[in-house]
Amino acid sequence: MKKLNVALMAGGNSSEREIALNSAKMVYEAFDKAKYNVFIVDVHGRQWLCDGAGGRKVEVDKTDFSLHLGEDRLAFDYAFIMIHGTPGEDGKLQGYLEMMGIPYSTCDSVSSVETFDKTLCKRVVAEVEDLCLAREVLIRRGQHPDWQAIVDRLGLPLFVKPNASGSSCGVTKVKEAARLEEAVEKAFTESDAVLVEEFIAGREFGCGVLLTAEGAQALPVTEIVAHNEFFDYEAKYTAGKSDEITPAPIPAETADRIRRAAVRAAEACHCRGLVRVDFLLTPDDRIYMIEINSVPGMSSGSIVPKQLAAAGMKLSDVLDTIIADTLCRH
């Protein structure tokens, strides 16, 4: 059987670039090289670069999604997307691959847009059973909101976050009304729209979901205990700043509720491949969805690899499953 030429799309243009490169390295190591010729493609702005012979960089020809290696042309058969943020999580790269007729590993372009836009995602999952959503105000660039009216409506503290971003980049917990405008300006450095949400007190959990034509499989639930005030960028990517406990130390019934909510939310957005859904569980056992990550972190310290290990699943087998499922649908 012919080995597939796989472009492992890495890097990207967002604040999550370095995290995405680390995720791609781990995924690269997990690929079965007897089945796949895997090339890491570092996407940075308009340049898509691969390592060529002698350490030189070779640019991907985006007119036909190929590499020109001297006199030879290597056409990619498949794209495995490991870019967090733009253009790998917001539908842009998916749209390009769809136009080129190249199968790829993630949600399609429409679902990627839905999950990356936090406000839109909440609207899509609003009718999902056993799922609550925090009240919010959306502020677009150029608007001049009444700050006190927002505080009066949502109360304090508040969470301010970019409407389209990840890894908690640009997120602030606001405890005083006087700090709200400053927090919104910070969030605007990451996105053209900013979400102001009411604060929900509770324990934080994440649940990976593998979605194929065979159905959806929820992974073991992870509890996220941040040593900072919340699970911010530092807590996510600095050793010792958080504890991620898999499986979560909660009753089996509660874990099953979270797993069912994760599957329902992912299916409502027509996700496919491997995603992660994050939640808050309140003291009165209500489940609030935080967000859906359509390209979850896959570095050694990331949540989903730990969940796969807890489920007894090898990453190499999961990669095979995702690729086989995509090729069957393509």
Residue 79 near residue 45, CB atoms below 8 Å? no
Burial class (CB in 10 A: 0-12, 13-18, 19+), 307: buried
Alpha-carbon separation of residue 69 from 40, 66, 206 (angstroms): 15, 10, 42
What CA–CA distance (Å, rounded) separates 137 from 141?
Answer: 13
Q: Which pLDDT score, from 0 to 100, does residue 229 have?
A: 67
CB atoms within 10 A of CB 34: 6
- Report if residue 109 sits inside a domain: no
State the catalytic residue, choosing from 16, 136, 197, 244: 16
Residues 257 and 194 in one domain: no
- Report if residue 305 sits inside a domain: yes
Q: Which pLDDT score, from 0 to 100, does residue 231 have?
A: 47
CATH number at residue 68: 3.40.50.20
Residues 96 and 222 in one domain: no
Q: Which pLDDT score, from 0 to 100, does residue 71 have?
A: 83
State the catalytic residue, choosing from 105, 111, 165, 167: 167
- Report if residue 68 sits inside a domain: yes
Per-residue pLDDT tens, the chain, 330 aa: give them. 689 999 999 999 988 899 999 999 999 999 999 999 999 999 999 999 998 766 789 999 999 999 988 888 999 999 999 999 999 999 999 999 999 999 999 999 999 999 999 999 999 999 999 999 999 999 999 999 999 999 999 999 999 999 987 656 789 999 999 999 999 999 999 889 999 999 999 999 999 999 999 999 999 999 999 876 654 444 444 556 679 999 999 999 999 999 999 999 999 999 999 999 999 999 999 999 999 999 999 998 899 999 999 999 999 999 999 999 999 988
SS3 call for 318: helix
Residues 209 and 299 in one domain: yes
SS3 call for 324: helix
- Report if residue 274 sits inside a domain: yes
Is 302 one of the annotated active-site residues of the chain? yes
State the catalytic residue, choosing from 242, 294, 299, 302: 302
What CA–CA distance (Å, rounded) separates 280 from 231?
Answer: 12
Residue whose pair of structure tokens reads 């910070």 in the numeric block: 186
Residues 150 and 277 in one domain: no
DSSP state of 289: E
Residues 242 and 280 in one domain: yes
pTM attached to this predicted model: 0.93
Structure tokens at 286: 């209500």
Any binding-site annotation on 13?
no
Between β-strands 172-174 and 158-162, what pairing exists: parallel, antiparallel or unpaired?
A: antiparallel
Residues 46 and 194 in one domain: no
CB atoms within 10 A of CB 73: 11
Residues 37 and 70 in one domain: yes
Which region holds residue 122: left if phi is over 0, alpha if psi is between -120 and 50, else beta?
alpha
Number of domains in the chain: 3
Any binding-site annotation on 267?
no
Residues 314 and 212 in one domain: yes
- Report if residue 322 sits inside a domain: yes
CATH number at residue 235: 3.30.470.20
Residues 6+ apart with CB under 8 A from 4: 35, 36, 37, 77, 78, 323
Query: Whole domain around residue 89: which residue ranges?
Result: 4-104
Any binding-site annotation on 234?
no
Domain boundary among 61, 85, 104: 104
Q: Which pLDDT score, from 0 to 100, does residue 239 have?
A: 55
Residues 320 and 207 in one domain: yes
SS3 call for 28: helix
Residues 244 and 141 in one domain: no
Q: Which pLDDT score, from 0 to 100, does residue 255 have?
A: 99
Closest C-alpha to 216, from 271, 279, 297: 271
Residues 183 and 59 in one domain: no
Residues 210 and 312 in one domain: yes
Residues 6+ apart with CB under 8 A from 102: 65, 76, 77, 78, 79
